[in-house]
Structure 1
Amino acid sequence: MATTVTIEGQVTIPKLVRDRLGIEPGSMVDFKLDPDGRVVLVKVDASNPARRFEALRGRAGPGPTTDQIMALTRGEG
Structure 2
Amino acid sequence: MRITTKGQVTIPQDVRDFAGFQPGTEVEFLIGEDGVVRVIAAGQGPRARDRRLGAALAGLRGSADTGLSTDEIMALTRA
Matched-pair contact (CA < 8 Å) for 2:26–2:41: yes
Q: Which residue of 1 aligns with 2:65?
A: none
Uncovered stretches (5+) of structure 1, i.e. residues with no partner = 63-77
TM-score, normalised relative to structure 1: 0.61
Closer, same or farther: CA 12–29 of 1 in aligned 2, 3 Å? same
**Alignment equivalent of 2:51, drawn from 45, 50, 54:** 54
Cα shift at 1:29: 0.7
Q: Partner letter of residue 33 of structure 1? A: I
Instruction: Provide the residue aligned with 1:24 in structure 2.
Output: 22
Higher helix share: 2
Amino acid at match of 2:3: V
TM-score normalized by structure 2? 0.60
List, as ranges, runs of 4+ consecutive aligned residues in structure 1 with deviation greater than 6 Å: none
Over the aligned positions, Cα root-mean-square deviation in angstroms equals 2.4
User: How many residues matched?
Assistant: 58
CA deviations on 1:2-59 (whole Å, 9 max, x unpaired) are x11111111011111100111111111111101121101101259xxx6222222113
- Greater radius of gyration (CA): 2
Q: CA 1:52 to 1:45, structure 2 compared with 1: closer, same or farther past 3 Å?
A: closer
Aligned sequence identity (%) = 35
Residue segments in structure 2 that go unaligned for 5+ positions in a row: 63-79
